[in-house]
Amino acid sequence: MSDPFDLAEVAPPPAGALAPAPYLNALNPEQRAAVEALDGPVLVLAGAGTGKTRVLTTRLAHLINMRRAWPSQVLAVTFTNKAAREMRERVAALLGGAVDGLWLGTFHATAARMLRRHAELVGLKPDFSILDQDDQLRLIKQVAEPMHLDDKRWPSRVLAAAFDRWKDRGLTPEQIGRAEAEHVADGKGGELYAAYQDRLRVLNACDFGDLLLHCITIFRAHPDVLGQWQRKFRYVLVDEYQDANVAQYLWLRLLAQQHKNLCVVGDDDQSIYRWRGAEVGNILRFEQDFPGATVIRLERNYRSTARILGAASGLIAHNRGRLGKTLRPADAGANDQGAPVEVRGVWDDEAEARLVGEDIEQLQRDGHPLKEMAILVRASFQTRSFEERLLTLGLPYRVIGGTRFYDRAEIRDAVAYLRLVNQPDHDLAFDRIVNLPRRGLGDTSLQALHRIARAQGISLTQAARRVLETDELRPQARRALRDFLAQLDLWRGKLVEMNHVALAETVLEESGYVDMWRVDKSPEAPGKLENLKELVRALAEFENLAGFLEHVSLVSDNEQQAGEDGVNLMTLHGAKGLEFDVVFLPGWEEGLFPHQRSLDEGEAGLEEERRLAYVGLTRARQRAYLSHAANRRVHGAWQSSIPSRFIAELPDEHVARTADSGLYAGHGRGGGLADPESVFAVPAPGSTWDTPGQRRARAFFAARNVTPPAPRENARLAANAAIAVGDRVFHQKFGTGRVLDRDGDKLDIDFQHAGRKKVFDSFVTKA
């Protein structure tokens, strides 16, 4: 990884004749102001659909076109590779050609690039490897093992999350507060974190958090190094600033301190990654952190109808912690306000999928391409019922997100082989594939290797060589290990002479890894073989093995092949930054959206859910359809729920509300639509609806001094409390059955056809 750049000070280009800037004419006044405010700290608050990316790319192009800095003196950071790629392409388009030397990339890729130059200052070598989540978990497990933790209470993923959050906040093991370190892992949190960091160093490895954390550590301890970078980057630009964590904020602040030309673009209302360490406070505090900052608001929305904007604005206005923006339609004088946002109540998740399916078919007949429609869900399990429905209807769809290519087990295995060939001392890669396929090297042998490696401070590969000279292993295991090491040496010998693609094929074949899947008769095996072929194809796009491995570490290629028509299915998180003509937002129910886990976190959790709702609504250009189901199967059990509070928060003038008959006030009566208001009916205390969700809903309505309309059939609901063990009952979905047991408001019923189920008593009637 050699960077062909020099940290020696370079003067900015001479301010000479400027090229004309026709791109400025394509901007509205606020956008133009944001582009032309080149000097000093600038905060661009860009609401959804207000041309954020255009501003960012035009500003970057403008900087270079105005000769304010050489491209190599400009740093532009994004969160995703996709955003970085897009920005690079658009800047090239604006300037009529690719720009060389520009530092444009993700936070992590940029930090990695810097860190490789100074790795030794934090005890690493420049060719350190970057661990992903899976490697990280394995390593933590190893480190935690000798500490005799209760791994039920402190599984490695919980520990990983704790370390990640510390790193997000820019905290090294030495900087963790005592109290905080102690309430992780039964008081051993700090010790474990330090041990993990030490182990990483021994392995010459970093996790994602380290890329930034190590940079900060270096900048703080070595003012000369920091000074070089500060002088180099005359301008710094940041995308999606609302998602920056504290470490990223510190990194930026340190880098921009010299020239103070830091421009951040973001939208506090779209901050949805708090759980991953994003700190909305960064953007809220920008003006205090960077005195004299220019603040520019982009509020002209070019995407959505007035009604969609009205609904979204009305919703987000319920949040307290925000800077405050109001989205206006760019075409404010237009007569057409657009269709109201539709809110529909349905019986259950199947009905919801049917309804959405019908709408999609109708919209398609009306001329909307399927790829212009999206179903945005809160949690990924929700996609299932829609997939089933779309399959039934024969409508093509694509699920965006899900397991990424490089996260697949077979790809990770193959990559581990390549890593181990490339870096003999990569212990995690060694661990992963030493007995895959089975070579007869089980736990006992591996433990011996680990023990030796640990005791002598050497890598597993080295330990393996030593152990062969002893009689520590049984002859069988020793032979297997010797053969394996010999193979590795053979492959390594070919690194120079052989082309890396051919080498990869050789390794995968000769190791027996491919054969392992050829022999495998499970239904997944053919797909896995296909993926391995794809991996080899991907390898061909890189110059050498090392370049490929760096790509694997830092780039998650989750790009979907666009082009083909199909409905888009994804989570709300996955939809950020995208837009569609029509957006379906199912599952707006208390407990699911807002999610119970967020509600448990209190006000901050709730506000983040609300921002997520806002993100969802603002994805829609023309139409948005919300829905909520009264019943839903969650983890196998039926659950009943009430509409999300967010539905009640939508301003009436932009919304049309309908619900299937009698949904929240008894059920089973046919015909027509219920009074729309009945959707919000909340029953009297003590009724069978006395569930946590109901209690929250009552508290919510009470706090707002809203009297929810009385349910119409309270008498009948109340009667359900009288259903006793032994009664014969009728359920809409499961038919008739006999009550075997009662647990609070849940009945254990043996249905004639549907078998034994647990259901809420409010959903059955005496038969």
Report the distance separating Cα 535 and Cα 548, nearest Å.
10
List CB contacts of 409: < 8 A, sequence separation 6 or more: none
Report the distance separating Cα 413 and Cα 431, nearest Å.
10
Whose Cβ is closer to DNA: residue 571's or residue 627's? 571
Whose Cβ is closer to DNA: residue 571's or residue 720's? 571
Whose Cβ is closer to DNA: residue 247's or residue 663's? 247
Closest contact distance (angstroms) between CB of 378 and DNA is: 7
Closest contact distance (angstroms) between CB of 409 and DNA is: 8
Whose Cβ is closer to DNA: residue 473's or residue 729's? 473
Closest contact distance (angstroms) between CB of 494 and DNA is: 28
CB atoms within 10 A of CB 728: 14
Report the distance separating Cα 385 and Cα 355, nearest Å.
12
Binding interface with DNA (CB under 7 A): 79-82, 106, 108-109, 132-133, 141, 151-152, 208, 240, 243, 272-273, 275-276, 278, 378-381, 401, 404, 435, 438, 440-445, 477, 554-556, 558, 570-571, 573-574, 595, 597-598, 601, 635-636
Closest contact distance (angstroms) between CB of 636 and DNA is: 3
Closest contact distance (angstroms) between CB of 24 and DNA is: 29
Closest contact distance (angstroms) between CB of 130 and DNA is: 8
- The phi and psi torsions of 426 (rounded to 5 degrees) equal -75, 90
Whose Cβ is closer to DNA: residue 30's or residue 410's? 410
Q: According to DSSP H, which parts of 184-300 are helical?
A: 189-202, 208-221, 223-232, 246-256, 280-284, 286-289
Question: CA geometry: angle at 42 spanning 37 and 48, to 5°?
Answer: 100
List CB contacts of 147: < 8 A, sequence separation 6 or more: 185, 188, 191, 192, 195
Short-list 33, 36, 30, 28, CA closest to 61: 36
Whose Cβ is closer to DNA: residue 132's or residue 372's? 132
Closest contact distance (angstroms) between CB of 442 and DNA is: 2
Closest contact distance (angstroms) between CB of 573 and DNA is: 4
Report the distance separating Cα 586 and Cα 383, nearest Å.
10
Whose Cβ is closer to DNA: residue 558's or residue 661's? 558
Closest contact distance (angstroms) between CB of 304 and DNA is: 23
Closest contact distance (angstroms) between CB of 444 and DNA is: 4
Whose Cβ is closer to DNA: residue 26's or residue 740's? 740
Q: Residue 689 has which token pair? A: 């609806």
Whose Cβ is closer to DNA: residue 244's or residue 488's? 244
Within 13 Å, how many C-alpha atoms sit on residue 98's CB side?
A: 6
**Amino acid (one-letter) located at 745:** D
3-state secondary structure (DSSP) of residue 460: helix
Report the distance separating Cα 741 and Cα 765, nearest Å.
15
Torsion of CA 190, 192, 195, 200, to 10 degrees: -110
Within 13 Å, how many C-alpha atoms sit on residue 63's CB side?
A: 31
Query: Contact at 8 Å (CB) between 585 and 374?
Result: no
263 CA to centre of own chain: 24
Short-list 184, 183, 211, 192, CA closest to 142: 192
Query: Contact at 8 Å (CB) between 192 and 185?
Result: yes
Per-residue buried b or exposed e for 116-129, using 16+ beta carbons within 10 Å of the residue's own CB: bbbbeebebeeebb
Report the distance separating Cα 259 and Cα 252, nearest Å.
12
Query: Contact at 8 Å (CB) between 439 and 484?
Result: yes
Query: Contact at 8 Å (CB) between 578 and 304?
Result: no
Short-list 758, 576, 549, CA closest to 130: 549
Whose Cβ is closer to DNA: residue 151's or residue 649's? 151
Report the distance separating Cα 356 and Cα 628, nearest Å.
12
Residues acting as catalytic residues: 52-53, 239-240, 270, 619
The DSSP line for 589-649 is BTBBTTBHHHHHT-HHHHHHHHHHHHHHHTTEEEEEEEEEEEEEEETTEEEE--B-HHHHH
Closest contact distance (angstroms) between CB of 659 and DNA is: 25
Closest contact distance (angstroms) between CB of 249 and DNA is: 12
List CB contacts of 627: < 8 A, sequence separation 6 or more: 343, 344, 345, 346, 352, 355, 356, 584, 585, 586, 587, 588
List CB contacts of 642: < 8 A, sequence separation 6 or more: 589, 590, 664, 682, 693, 694, 697
Whose Cβ is closer to DNA: residue 110's or residue 688's? 110
Q: Residue 380 has which token pair? A: 């990924």
- The phi and psi torsions of 373 (rounded to 5 degrees) equal -120, 145
Closest contact distance (angstroms) between CB of 603 and DNA is: 14
Q: Residue 637 has which token pair? A: 């059990």
The DSSP line for 464-505 is HHHHHTSS-S-HHHHHHHHHHHHHHHHHHHHHHHS-HHHHHH
Whose Cβ is closer to DNA: residue 87's or residue 309's? 87
Whose Cβ is closer to DNA: residue 86's or residue 745's? 86
